[in-house]
């Protein structure tokens, strides 16, 4: 008999999006839109399984790239991926195939959801013996009908805003539903219904192009330190990352670069703990060659114009099953952008290009001033290796 999962998450993502083409996999604040809510769901650790329902092979490939076997993709029938198909129809189709007790419908158009939201909502759901739950934010606004009839207050006794009893505005981030409720009422909300209150800014959803920039700025502000506990390899750029980006020429025309000893020590510490270190640069400089040889970097790629293709090949040559999600990449300029977008975790020095900062976690140190050592320390601490140094 198949095991019945207590709690599953369902993330619907269809390929067709008219207002914003390929919306679900379009990059926002450095990651595809779907990555934000999916990562929060994984980090919450409240789900037995997380599923993505899609009609798009491209979305399926993208999900697998970022999450591997942590997320299961289910190919959705084309009839359930039209503009007319309801979300409930997708949920019911899923319920007919997968055994579970409760389902959490997650909508990736609400990327500001956090792992703590899933944890607290599930605690509320269980503690209050609910049948279904929605997410919402407090709403303190005076409402009128189109016919100029007040809906939620008396204009002759207009309350102060701070004294106004708030309503709850459904924000659509996620819903929790018992399977029997979904199948009985054909609805995500029925029976004993509860609410999980979220932050006010989480009411912003991505439906139109003008929503994109607003949400990207909010995501950049709330960026937290990425999860580094499963990182197996650190990939490091040279100019502007291991160095300050300056080039010093001798009278003979030889290019010289300044390196920081503590960066080298950090990389050596990682390798001593079994975490691989790769250095990759677009330049081919004798001073860099000498530095890499001195500090004992085994994986050193120079003169590389297409860095991603080199990393792709390097991954294929590894004896263990390593993928991009196992890599932490640090770079500072546009030549690193593609690698930063593919890496499991992406970082940049404090003085990196503004576009790079949108696609990576910004460290407090500048390039050539300890940014790499800062990242090495973060990896060691995340993997509980720092105490044994």
**Residues 237 and 244: beta-carbon distance below 8 Å:** no
Residue entry with tokens 């929790």? 176
Torsion of CA 289, 240, 350, 344, to 10 degrees: -60
Give me 278's structure tokens. Answer: 């790769």
146 as an active site residue: the answer is: no
Among residues 14, 75, 141, 158, the one annotated as catalytic is 158
Catalytic residue list: 158
């Amino acid at each position: 008999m198949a095991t019945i999962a207590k709690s599953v998450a369902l993330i619907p993502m269809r390929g067709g999006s008219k207002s914003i083409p390929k919306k679900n996999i379009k990059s926002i604040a450095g990651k595809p839109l779907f990555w934000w809510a999916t990562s929060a769901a994984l980090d919450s650790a409240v789900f037995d399984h997380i599923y993505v329902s899609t009609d798009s092979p491209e979305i399926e490939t993208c999900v697998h790239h970022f999450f591997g076997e942590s997320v299961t993709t289910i190919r959705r029938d084309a009839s359930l991926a039209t503009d007319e198909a309801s979300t409930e129809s997708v949920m019911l189709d899923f319920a007919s195939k997968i055994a579970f007790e409760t389902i959490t419908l997650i909508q990736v158009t609400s990327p500001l959801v956090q792992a703590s939201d899933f944890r607290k909502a599930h605690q509320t759901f269980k503690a209050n013996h609910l049948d279904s739950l929605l997410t919402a934010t407090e709403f303190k606004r005076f409402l009128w009908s189109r016919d100029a009839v007040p809906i939620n207050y008396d204009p002759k006794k207009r309350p102060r805003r701070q004294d106004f009893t708030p309503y709850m505005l459904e924000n659509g981030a996620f819903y929790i539903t018992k399977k029997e409720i979904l199948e009985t009422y054909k609805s995500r909300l029925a029976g004993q219904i509860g609410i999980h209150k979220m932050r006010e800014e989480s009411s912003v959803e991505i439906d139109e192009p003008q929503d994109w920039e607003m949400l990207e700025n909010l995501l950049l502000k709330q960026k937290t330190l990425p999860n580094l506990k499963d990182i197996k390899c650190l990939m490091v750029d040279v100019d502007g990352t291991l160095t300050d980006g300056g080039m010093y020429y001798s009278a003979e025309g030889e290019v010289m670069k300044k390196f920081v000893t503590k960066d080298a020590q950090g990389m050596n510490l990682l390798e001593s703990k079994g975490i691989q270190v790769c250095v990759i640069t677009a330049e081919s400089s004798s001073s860099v060659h000498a530095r890499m040889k001195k500090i004992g970097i085994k994986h050193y790629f120079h003169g590389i114009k297409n860095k991603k293709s080199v990393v792709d090949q390097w991954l294929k040559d590894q004896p263990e099953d390593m993928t991009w999600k196992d890599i932490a990449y640090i770079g500072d300029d546009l030549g690193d952008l593609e690698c930063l977008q593919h890496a499991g975790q992406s970082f940049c020095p404090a003085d990196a290009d503004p576009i790079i900062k949108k696609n990576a976690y910004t460290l407090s140190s500048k390039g050539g001033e300890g940014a790499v050592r800062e990242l090495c320390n973060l990896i060691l601490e995340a993997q509980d290796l720092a105490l044994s140094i």
